[in-house]
Amino acid sequence: MAAAESEQDPSSPSGEFLSFSARDTAQRWLAASDLKQEVYRHLALYVPRILCQGTGGRDSREEQREELGCQLLLLAPLEWFLLGAEPGAGLAHLQQNNRPSALCGHVFKVGEPTYSCRECAADPTCVLCMTCFLGSVHKEHRYRMTTSGGGGFCDCGDTEAWKSSPFCQTHLPDGGEAPEDPVSQLSPDLVARGYSLFSILLKYAVDLLTGDQQDQQDRQDRLPEGLEPPERADTYFCMLFNDEVHTYEQVIYTLQKAVSCSQREAVSFATTVDRDGRKSVRYGDFQFCDQAKSVIVRNTGRQSKPLRVQVMHSSVVAHQSFALKALSWLGGIIQYSDGLRRILCQVGLQKGEGENSTLVDHLMLNDSKMWKGARNVYHQLLMNSLLMDLKFKKIFAIQFAKNYRRLQTDFMEDDHERLVSVTSLSVQLFTVPTMARMLMVDQDLMGTIIRTFVDQLRHRDLQGRFQFDRYTAQQAFRFQRVQNLIGDLKYVLMSPPDQWTDPLRIKFLEGLDAFLDLLRCMQGMDPVVRQVGQHIEMEPEWEAAFTLQMKLSPVISMIQDWCRSDPEVVLVQAYRKVLSMLSQSSGGLPDGEQPLSLVLAGHQVETFRYQVSQERVSIHLPLCRLLAGLHVLLSRTEVATRFPEQLPLGELAPPLLMELPLRCLVLCAQVHAGMWRRNGFSLINQIYYYHNVKCRVEMFDKDIVMLQAGASMMDPNHFLMIVLSRFELFHVFSSADARKRYRDNKDLVQQNTLIEEMLHLIIMVIGERYVAGIGQVQPLDEVRREIIHQLSIRPMAHSELLKALPENGNKETGLERVIDSVASFKKPGVTGRGLYELRPEWNKHFNLYFHHYSRADQSKAEEAQRKSRRQNGEDTALPPPPPPPLCHLLGSLVNLLQCDVLLALEGAVLQWSVEPGGGSWTESMLQRVLHLVAMALLEEQQQLENRCGEEDVTFSYTCKITRPGEAPSSSGSILALLESLQNAPHLEVHKDMITWILKTVGTIKTIRERTSTSSTFTVSQGAGPEETGRDRDKAERKRKAEMARLRREKIMAQMSEMQKHFINENKDLFQQSLEEMEASTSAAEYSSPSSALTCASKVCVGPRRVGGADLRQLVTCILCQEEQEVRGAGKAMVLAAFVQRSTVLSRNHTCTPEPGRDPVFMHPDLPVGVHTASCGHIMHATCWQRYFEAVQVKEQRRQQRLRGNTSYDVENGEFLCPLCECLSNTVIPLLPHLATPGHSPDPPSLEAWLQTTSQLIAALHTCRKTPEGELEGAEPVPEGFRLDFSPHRPFSSSISEMITTFSLAVFKVGLKVEPDEQDGRVPVVGWSTCAFSIQSIERLLLDEDKPLFGSLPCRQDDCLSSLVRFGSACWTSVPQNTVYTHFSRLLAVLVPDRRVENSPCILNLDMFHLLVYSVLSYSSLHSLDQSGRSSVDVGHLHLLHLVTVAHLVQVLLTCSTGEVCMDQDGGGSEEEQLTLQLYCFLRKHLSSLPDVSPWQLWSRVKAGILPFLRAAALFFHYLNSAAPPADLVAGPGQWESLCSFLSLPPNLLLLYQTHQDLLDPLVLSWIQHPGVPPLLRGGIQHPGVAPLLPGGRVTRFPRESNRLIELPEDYSVLINQASSFTCPRSGGDKSRAPTLCLVCGAMLCSQSYCCQTEVDGEDVGACTAHTFTCGAGVGLFLRVRESQVLFVAGKTKGCFYPPPYLDDYGETDQGLKRGNPLHLCPDRYRKMERLWRQHGIPEVIGHAQEANQTLVAIDWQHL
């Protein structure tokens, strides 16, 4: 850097600014014969002088200078030349005459919200910017909101992107068409200048950015001809380029070494390299730079490819950066005129010699060689120019498609993310349907994409199938990139054409050929062979194949959609193609081998010899499945119903077609039966995905379809025999005595499962008819059925339902269109989410064997259904729902139900079931058979009911089941078997179902008889006795059920009794939120003491108070369960507690009080307080100490074993409460109640008391120890006092020790210092936590309109009471002198004392803190009184009076608001008059006070002082254990009762008036404090007075409550706000994780290197750093992009919390994945706010981390 300074004269360009004239230069250019030469000469001269002077450490002034030079010397002449006029005016003129096209074209920034209309968008890639969206009709539609990943633009105005309403209000065309050729609107001169200038500039930029690729080595030193600098200095840059291989840390480390820069500079370099793609890290002569280069290469080249570094000449770098500026300039200029835009497009796409000779081609083809920043600039230009001009967009698209293969190959070699690759423009071109079709026809786009894709997957096995070996990271990376091609294919196929042309048909079918080639490579890939004997050694690779399948699934579906839209030609042709491809590739089926002949139930069939359990089988059968899909489509055509013989089904061999899918289904069954255990997890995963919603549409579902198709074209008996044979079950049913089961079979269990699976498969083949083309259904019926079955399991949230449904190409499931017809919505409360519940009328559509149920789903649904039926008093039979009729082509499927083989199966299973137990049959088996029987009966019944005329019904199941079984096992008919099973005791569960079957048989008989004999009498006969029998049964069952229920309840009750360990219970409670805990309030506690006292005597302070000393406190230690009384001399008992610093009461979020501050005086803004909370659990001090030591030891051991954190920091004294696991960091000692006051005959008056006290203080001040140890004072000691008196310690040593423990803990946390017993501030911080905790609770109660007493939960009540009693005893554990000093300083604020210096003015004091401190320290002073004439209570009361008067004055001084005085007439009450009197006294001395009416004054005073009085009441209540009056317990609390409780007159002014003579001089001294006038003026504080707060704002009373910031109702407002937020540290760069502080509203750049700061010697992220200034270490944030709330406490702790934003379905969207519009839920936000104000954040974090250990491992401090 030193070299740079010596070489350059920084003033030289500035001098030129003055003499240079852009206009003259432009004139010269106009006159020049060779414009290019002139312009180049200018650039060659100026560019290196203006740009890129030096490196690193550039300040913003230098940048500004560069910017200015660039504008004035380089760009201005261009503008003058182009416009032929002064640029400003010229551009305005251009814009005026422009007739812009209707396109919005707004290019999205990263993180900006985008909107897509789910009703009107042509596809999900069509989006609107926020402005357009808000001005469009779509905001009333169902829309989706996402955040942009950057790139892409607003589609407003593109008629092809929207099915309706393509324009927003702004972009609505105003009638007049945009001119055909916008260039014709410009003057010919301008056009000519535009052409020539644009050509020169664009060529210049392209040359510099793409360089000469032939000699890479030289490139950095070569400039295009005509640009060589006049003199060539030895100045170089060492340029570092970005790659995706090296990590941030590696780069930072290397840079520090190579260019010896600081860590911070290195971070900055690395950040820029990551953002812009390159950054010069060193500037100087060649040698200097080359040296750095070699260090970097050496350091990074060891493990991997080294970082890319180049030493470049400074002039080249300068021209390159100007090239980018020129491109941006071009992009800006063409915004003013569509004509100029068109000219630029023409220049860019002007053909030179040969292929790819246009400038745009040059750019595109060199894309992967450019650095990120350059790519971004020219991509942006392409979007602003070519993509905005419809004519040239088309030409560009053709060029793009022509170069497609090369661009993609380049991209594959490149390691940059796709977002910065030119290939990502495909979404802009291919999603326009007309464009996509044009490219398909002219450029064979579909085929090109597919072939490019296939070429990239090179590994094949011997059969030519894809082979994915071990999946290395590099392969995965490559594979990921290849998948983008499938994305492009999806764009092209997104919308099927409405109009087919012959060329399109030809090209589509050609494309299909290519696609079938691709599928053929997948057919049969990753085959598996069953492992017997031993486990597989290595899990085979399976993920790649499934990823491929998953990615291709939507494409396969789209191809089917295309085929469907042209059924006569394309569909039939496609069907033929698939069929022939399938027969070519089915080499896996062995022919020529001796077929196997099967005979069963009098039928015979021949089939392959093949066993799934022995030979290779594959799950990947995309060809078969595509054929199945097309078959269904054919079935939907008209031809299928009218002339099925015309369909291309002739060559089909049904057994051959269904063979492979059947094998796959058998494989699943065998895996299920445990036959493939040794094949490991890879197979289990594959089977899982096969059924999973992401894959099943093009896998499992299609296999079922294929079986249905096969079965419909075959003899049903043959079909079933082949199925039996593939399941390897044929022998079970074919043997002569099939109805007997051999029990010695060792694989019986396995075989049983296989039988169950096979029966299930048969049920599905016959019963699954909800695909249009199989059954006669509407498309939405399928979705509806899916939803019904999901909701039959349990009520579900919207997102759960969505996850269970497959998405189509448009990411739609159709859920919203049917959900309301089948389900009712239940709104969520403050927690949880909204749920959909199935309407009961849809229960009858429940099918237990729904094909998408997993076994777990099935049993859950079965249970739920049975339960609901029982509740409704119905029987529990779950018969199949009536199925929709089959389509014509598959009509013969029903015959399966009544074919001989199936009847034989049914008979066998029923026969086995006669015998109970034994394992030869299973309940599921029987259940499935009953289901099949029921299906058959339903079919027969339907046919009978629907027949028209006298035609015969062919279906005669009832007739067939009455036939006796086959010989030789002549064991009765199926019907007879059913009848005998009906009452079998071991089949109780199935009884209802069998009854249902028998009843239906009866009904069918009746129908048949009725039609044959026309008599209807038989119906009701026979039913009678059966009915009554059933009624009896039902009653009996009900009784049993009731008894069972009672028994269960009893057991439950016993269990919960026994549940001693209530941690879990408590956790639940906790999750139900804190406020519910509060419901269990301690109001009851007051009943006992208060009932003993009369209402009149309820006073909490002063000699008239009634104490609670006679109350005995018995507590139980949670650790040893021992009971113990709390006594001063007894064993110490402690309360687990958590102390934290808090800014919750402060409205000022910018100050950080320094650790060394003086805590004696609290500023009225309460900037940082110390809050103490407790879970209320009590232990022996000794028990706790032992527990804590154990925790410490455990932690040490744990740290040795495994590194990592716990949810609590033992080193900082943190632990979890042993009972409730609440985070704690110290314990509060429990102390007994104070003694009841001794009633002194005549308590001293205020005056006398003040005098005595002052005298005493004076004496203490001057006294010192004589060498003999005697005390001697210069001042007289008041009568009855003994200075050398040392009070006896009232507490046992264990209690004293605990007092010290707690004092030091509070001291350490409160002041952030190391504990020091000698520090005089120790007792003060102890008092301050009493005051602050009371204040914060008082504020919460007030804001929530809760009564002051009786509404606190026990734990808070116990905590405050022990805190205050601790406070009152604090002085006993510190040197007396310290306490005297504190007291004298406190008193000096109110009663001037010349010995005390720097007393703050009363406007800078919180009076409640003053009161608490002085009362608590007074005891120490009072202990010297040996006269026995006055009690400590007298002092308390006088202190209260004095502070109250001071507060009155404080309120009066600050109550002026400048509002207009509303003169309230009338005599004015006594209060008003007295207030006025005091106010007049103040005004007399402070003329700046405004005139305020007495009525207003009094009301202000009353409101202003109320919080103080309430807090004081709480304080004295706890201090003196005084019971509160009834109306403060229950109601809102009357002013009068509050005052009387505090022993104050309701007219507080009387306090002043009765002692006016005494008080006037005091008041005068207060207001004459030098600090008062400037504060009242709102100005700067007096220099002599130490400011407690910067800024010197005056606090007014009552203080406003602190709230979290207001959030907008619509979440997208936040997203928008965050998208324009730039990182404050890295020069206008977009922040990646913008995070909003909910306390102060600051937006932060979180989770990023750029914004890390050092706090206490550690680098922390922006959020953590912010909490230290804003929240004393605790923070609440909203991570805007993630829609997630972040809680942080301290440096290591944090958790995520659900955001207060919900979608219309009552769900949050953490991570913004679903994109439903989100709205603020005020209740949830308020709940969060309360949590914060209750100081509950650390506790929530603690519990969250305990519940989820992974949260502990997160580096919260880096967020």
Residues near Zn ion (CB under 5 A) = 104, 106, 117, 119-120, 129, 132, 138, 141, 154, 156, 168, 171, 1117, 1119-1120, 1175, 1177, 1180, 1183, 1217, 1219-1220, 1222, 1623, 1625, 1637, 1639-1640, 1642, 1645, 1648, 1650-1651, 1670
Backbone angle region of 37, left / alpha / beta, with phi > 0 → left and psi within -120 to 50 → alpha: alpha
Of residues 453 and 1621, the one with the C-beta less far from Zn ion: 1621
Nearer to Zn ion, 924 or 1185 (CB): 1185
Whichever of 1358 and 1433 has its CB closer to Zn ion, that residue is 1358
Residues in a beta bridge with 775:
772, 886
Is 693 or 1605 the residue whose CB approaches Zn ion more closely?
A: 1605
Least CB distance to Zn ion at residue 138 (A) = 4
User: Nearer Cβ to Zn ion, position 270 or 1322?
Assistant: 270
The candidate with the shortest Cα–Cα distance to 726, out of 587, 620, 598, 854, is 598
CA gap 854, 860 in Å, rounded: 10
Q: Could you give the count of Cα atoms lying within 13 Å of 580 in the half-sphere of its Cβ?
A: 8
The least CB distance from residue 1122 to Zn ion, in Å, is 5
Least distance to Zn ion, CB of residue 268, Å: 11
Residues shown for the chain? 1759
Closest distance to Zn ion from the beta carbon of 498 (Å): 20
Which is closer to Zn ion, CB of 876 or CB of 1664?
Answer: 1664
Minimal distance in Å, beta carbon 1651 to Zn ion?
3
Amino acid at 887: C
Are 1078 and 1205 contacting, i.e. CB atoms less than 8 angstroms apart?
Answer: no
Beta carbon nearer to Zn ion, 272 or 421 = 272
Buried b (16+ CB within 10 A) or exposed e, 226-240: ebebeeeeebbbbbb
For residues 723 and 758, the answer to whether their CB atoms sit within 8 Å is: yes
Are 422 and 379 spatial neighbours (Cβ–Cβ below 8 Å)?
Answer: yes
Instruction: Report the nearest approach of Zn ion to the CB of residue 1663 (Å).
Output: 9
DSSP secondary structure string, 184-235?
A: GGS-HHHHHHHHHHHHHHHHHHHHHHH--STTTTTGGG---TT---SS--S-
Within 87-150, residue ranges assigned H as helices are 87-96, 130-134
Residue 470 CB neighbours (<10 A): 8
Please check whether residue 525 is in contact with residue 591, taking contact to mean a CB–CB distance below 8 angstroms.
no
Smaller CB distance to Zn ion: residue 751 or 1648? 1648
CA distances 1605 to 493, 1159, 1678, 1712, 1727, Å, are: 47, 29, 11, 22, 14
Task: State the minimum distance, in angstroms, from the CB of residue 1617 to Zn ion.
Answer: 16
For the CB of residue 810, give the shortest distance to Zn ion in the complex, in Å. 13
Whether 1412 contacts 1440, CB under 8 Å:
no
Looking at beta carbons only, is 1180 or 1693 nearer to Zn ion? 1180
573 vs 1648, which CB is nearer to Zn ion? 1648
Q: Is the CB of 1175 or the CB of 1440 nearer to Zn ion? A: 1175
Q: Considering the complex, what minimum distance in angstroms separates the CB of residue 57 from Zn ion? A: 19
What whole-number distance in Å separates Cα of residue 1670 and Cα of residue 1688? 12
Nearest to 516 by CA among 662, 439, 627: 627
CB of 142 to Zn ion, least distance (A): 8
Q: 1006 vs 1647, which CB is nearer to Zn ion? A: 1647
Least distance between Zn ion and beta carbon 37 (Å):
42
Pick between residue 1648 and residue 1708 the one whose CB is nearest to Zn ion: 1648
Please identify, using beta-carbon distances, which residue of 419 and 1642 lies nearer to Zn ion: 1642
Least separation in angstroms between residue 746's CB and Zn ion is 57
- β 143-147/113-117 pair status: antiparallel
Helix, coil or strand: residue 972: coil
C-alpha 1487/C-alpha 1479 separation (Å) is 11
Instruction: Please identify, using beta-carbon distances, which residue of 166 and 1700 lies nearer to Zn ion.
Output: 166
Name residue 1223's beta-bridge partners.
1216
Least distance (Å) between residue 836 CB and Zn ion: 24
Q: Which helix (H) or strand (E) holds 681?
A: helix 680-691
Closer residue to Zn ion in complex, CB, 161/398: 161
Query: Which residue type occupies 1167?
Result: P
Task: Using the minimum distance from each CB to Zn ion, give the nearer residue, 152 or 1706.
Answer: 152
Distance between CA atoms of 893 and 708, rounded to whole angstroms? 7
User: What are the φ and ψ backbone dihedral angles of 277, each rounded to 5 degrees?
Assistant: 95, -15
Distance in Å, CB of 1045 to Zn ion, minimum: 36
Q: Tell which residue, 1618, 1543, 1362, 1732, has the closest CA to residue 111.
A: 1618
What distance in Å separates the CA atoms of residue 1227 and residue 1218, rounded to the nearest whole number?
Answer: 13
**1663: exposed, middle or buried (C-beta count within 10 Å: 0-12, 13-18, 19+)?**
buried
Strand 309-313 and strand 236-241: the pairing is antiparallel
Nearest approach in angstroms of CB 129 to Zn ion is 4
CA of 1082: how far to CAs of 791, 1125, 1231, 1337, 1529, in Å? Answer: 43, 20, 19, 15, 11
Q: Are the beta carbons of 1322 and 1307 closer than 8 angstroms?
A: yes
**CB nearer Zn ion, residue 446 or residue 815:** 815
- Minimum distance from residue 334 beta carbon to Zn ion (Å): 18
- Please name the residues in contact with 153: beta carbons below 8 A apart, sequence gap of 6 or more: 104, 105, 106, 107, 108, 383, 387, 428
Q: How far is the CB of 1451 from Zn ion (least distance, A)?
A: 29
Supply angle C-alpha 229, 233, 235, rounded to 5. Answer: 115
* Closest distance to Zn ion from the beta carbon of 1182 (Å): 7
